[in-house]
Structure 1
Amino acid sequence: MLYDEGRGLLWEQHDMGCLSFLLAVLTGTAETAYFGYLHDVLKPRVHRFATADAISGTAGQ
């Protein structure tokens, strides 16, 4: 798996497939110079589920 850092000529190589790399990035287990911060940023403190009606404000109409 190779990916470009997006702003220049730098590439980073990983010995895994694309899906495995994506899963590692999303779970915070990827050892990468560019995505290491995502685990802390995307980690919600509180999560609640809501219906589409409640989110769009059309509940009870």
Structure 2
Amino acid sequence: IGKLIVHAEDRQTAIERMHRALKELRVVGIKTTAPLHMRIMRDSAFVKGDVHIHYLEKTLLKA
């Protein structure tokens, strides 16, 4: 189990840092949820902060 955490002064910068960190992430031998997190970082509703408790469920259903 691993956890990737980023910090920044504002939401937009934190999202940019997370996107970059996910692009650079390398894990071999197992599947990861990194592609899902990349999709989330690019989702306009998430970037705007317009998310709610059912966000992930609805995001997965769109795919």
TM over 0.5: no
User: Structure 2-normalised TM-score?
Assistant: 0.25
From the CA coordinates, give the structure whose radius of gyration is larger: 1
User: Structure 1-normalised TM-score?
Assistant: 0.25
The answer to which structure has the higher strand fraction is 1
The answer to which structure has the higher helix fraction is 2
